[in-house]
Amino acid sequence: MSGLRRRENYMANDYYKNLPKKRMGAGAIIMNDTGEILFVKASYKDHWTLPGGVVEKDESPKIACLREVKEETGLSLADVKFLGVDYAPAREEKNENLQFVFFGGKLSASEMKNIKVDGQEIVEYRFIKIDDALPLLNDKLKRRLPQCLAALENNTAVYLENGK
């Protein structure tokens, strides 16, 4: 390899190493047959949330969603449908991030019996009507969730910035 080619290769590698890093998360809207949404309560949060979590290095948001739902609820979803992504700017100690929301489907009564939480990370789960759930959510999810539900109803996807 010529000196010029090595220098160009080094510059390209250096360029990619210095690009900004963003955190990503992925969660799923999962419903029961009456349209209530599955929410989980994590031991380390003071609010309820959708099953989901951090997208790990070299993992797609979709695969992260499927993995996190399995880890948090014991549910093995066959597939999920993309509903939206929400860009959240940096604040305090948290850097900017992208939050992906997917639809995990409607569970039958027998599938709902398969839900198991570990009692340590996830201490509780509930199926809750959207209007009853909103007061239990953090502000970001409170803004994001209705937009994603509208996208589901309209068979589309939504791009949001800070829930709007």
pTM of the model: 0.89
Give the count of beta carbons closer than 10 Å to the beta carbon of residue 121.
13
Domains of the chain: 22-161 (3.90.79.10)
Q: Convert the pLDDT of each residue in 128-146 to its tens digit.
A: 999 999 999 999 999 999 9
pLDDT number for residue 12: 63
For residues 93-106, average pLDDT: 94
pLDDT of residue 4: 57
Residue 8 pLDDT class (50, 70, 90 cuts): low
Q: Exposure pattern of 78-101 as b/e (b: 16+ CB <10 Å)?
A: eebebbbbbebeeeeeeeebebbb
pLDDT of residue 92: 80
Residue-wise pLDDT for 59-96, tens only, equals 999 999 999 999 999 999 999 999 999 999 988 878 89
Q: DSSP letters along 135-147, please? A: GGB-HHHHHHHHH
Widest Cα–Cα separation across the chain: 67
